[in-house]
Structure 1
Amino acid sequence: MTTKEFSYSLNEHSESLRPFAMRLTKDSDDANDLMQDTMLKAFTNRDKFSDGTNLKAWLYTIMKNTFITRYQQIKRRATFVDTTENMHFLNSGEVLIENGVFGSFAMSDIWQRISLLEDCYKVPFLMHHEGYKYYEIAEELNLPIGTVKNRIHLARKSLKEQLSVYKAD
């Protein structure tokens, strides 16, 4: 297969790889990067491809291996290895250990805000929080299922607005 024919075949299969890249990375920019790396590796290693074999499967394998390699590199970079004698610098770096006080304040504030909700919103919300299904809540409260879903949605929305100070950046 000539270089031109190989390039044409790569181009034909590139769009079928995009959903696989999205499934692996779960981000469109990372998926585009993975697609580009895959195509580059395939093109630079075209001499290793055997004519008559499945090009699409070969590309999927390259993409999967590229993703795994990149993931392992990121994990290695994030690992802190202490090389000091007697490990004097264990708390260096950007690692913080919380003692749970902030979590208690947050939970206290959350439950306080829930208690301030009107009963028509609070009761379905708490039942859903306890694990009841929508239809079970509807039967218990003798309400249409759409009303139950709407009230839970409005309760969540209200709590989200009131508790925006806890929003993670």
Structure 2
Amino acid sequence: MNEKARLGLKDLLLAEIPSLRAFALSLAGNSDRADDLVQDTLMKAWSSASSFMEGTNMRAWLFTIMRNTFFSQYRKARREIQDVDGEAAARLVSLPDQLAHLDLADFRFQLDRLPADQREALVLIGASGFSYEEAAEICGCAVGTIKSRVNRARHRLMELLALSSVEEFGPDPTLSESIATSPMVD
């Protein structure tokens, strides 16, 4: 678009501001948001001036840009949360993944160190979800034997992993405490 055409477009855009503002007020509901919407519309129209075809309806083109801009902003705002004081952000704490990955690697290593019969019983009951009776049938032994193997495997794993109780499984207590007492979380 040449300079003369750009100046002509500028005059056409300026002439439509009162109509744009009235339409923006009807969409946005308050004057501050309406003014922002008019500004966004004019900026988009100016940056895509080459797509405007001379001889077509300037007002319709601008209103289409404004309407699309408004609904894009509306859809985006529906996905966002007002969090002025940071409360919502403070609740979105996630523990680092690398520690869980390392814990799983340690667990797998120590699981492989268990005797085969204990490892098999523990995997059938703990990981595969079989009942003691089903695991006993699969292994070809008594239910009491499976229960004993699972119990011994659990205790041996706790010993190998240097855990004193089941409560120690999960996030590192020191890390959890430091997150809970960080300045962001009150």
Alignment TM class, shorter chain as reference: 0.3 to 0.5
Larger radius of gyration: 2
Return the structure number with greater relative CO, CA threshold 8 A, min gap 6.
2
